Every structure is written in structure tokens, then in C-alpha cells.
């Protein structure tokens, strides 16, 4: 039953992703803007775990690249949290009023999800196989 809920959730995310792509939500032409709001949502990669430069992983680096390439001011908001699965990210962001506001105002939304979910599932299967040996 639990696996069925997880599959439906993943399928729902896939449907939303495809629908969003088909609807062409929009593009931001940085050369035509003076300010860009970039919001990052996700897991440890988004949070910046392992980033020895302490720039919040790719979030601040992306902002710096946009500023350098287009001369725009980039304001970032980072809603990454290490260890969160996709269902936890969704629940966390939906319950955070500031995150909801930032996402609604964003020019660019970047999302990385799945590494934690995938890695935990792989580890579990690996351990199950090791026990059977």
C-alpha cells in the first residue's frame, strides 16, 4: 500500500512536469531584465551540502553567472534541505508561507529532487540482497 502511494505521487509529479513543459510556462530573458528572482527548491544538492566555497551550492553560483553574463541583479532564495525525499520537500515548501510567496514571485525556479529518495531505495535493496546471501 505504501509503495502504491509513493508510485502515485511520483506519477503525479511526472504528469505535472510534462504538463508544465507542454504549456511553456515561460522563459526569462535575462538581457531584458534588471532584476531576477531565483528560487531553488530541493534536497542536499540544492542546500549546498558539500560545497566547500560556502555559496549554497549551485544557487549562488548561478546568480553570480547571471550577474556576470547579463549585468542583472539576482536575488536568491534557497529552500533546499539535506535528507528530504520528494514528498517531504513538497510538504515542507507548501507549509512555509515565505517559500510559497517567494515561489509565486520568482522569475526562475530551480528544483533538484530525487537523490535522497533514490539513494535510500538503492541502499535498502542492496542490504536486502546482502542478507539473502
Predicted local distance difference test score (pLDDT) of residue 130: 55
Predicted local distance difference test score (pLDDT) of residue 7: 65
Burial class from Cβ neighbours inside 10 Å (0-12, 13-18, 19+) for residue 39 reads buried
pLDDT digits (tens, 9 = 90+) for 42-70: 888 888 888 888 777 788 888 888 898 88
- For the segment 79-94, the average pLDDT, to the nearest whole number, is 87
Q: In 3D, which of 79, 83, 93, 94 has the Cα closest to residue 117?
A: 83
Predicted local distance difference test score (pLDDT) of residue 38: 92
Enumerate the β-bridge partners of residue 20: none
φ, ψ for residue 82, nearest 5 deg:
-60, 140
Predicted local distance difference test score (pLDDT) of residue 78: 93
Predicted local distance difference test score (pLDDT) of residue 99: 93
Contacts of 56 (CB under 8 A, 6+ apart): 40, 47, 48, 76, 78, 80
Amino acid at each position: 500500500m505504501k509503495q502504491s502511494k509513493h508510485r502515485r505521487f511520483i506519477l503525479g509529479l511526472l504528469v505535472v512536469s510534462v504538463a508544465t513543459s507542454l504549456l511553456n510556462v515561460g522563459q526569462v530573458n535575462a538581457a531584458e531584465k534588471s532584476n531576477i528572482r531565483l528560487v531553488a527548491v530541493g534536497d542536499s544538492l540544492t542546500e549546498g551540502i558539500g560545497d566547500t566555497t560556502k555559496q549554497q551550492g549551485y544557487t549562488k553560483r548561478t546568480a553570480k553567472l547571471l550577474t556576470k553574463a547579463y549585468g542583472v541583479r539576482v536575488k536568491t532564495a534557497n529552500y533546499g534541505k539535506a535528507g528530504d525525499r520528494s514528498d517531504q520537500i513538497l510538504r515542507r515548501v507548501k507549509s512555509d508561507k515565505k517559500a510559497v510567496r517567494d515561489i509565486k514571485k520568482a522569475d526562475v525556479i530551480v528544483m533538484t529532487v530525487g537523490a535522497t529518495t533514490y539513494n535510500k531505495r538503492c541502499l535498502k535493496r542492496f542490504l536486502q540482497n546482502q542478507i539473502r546471501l
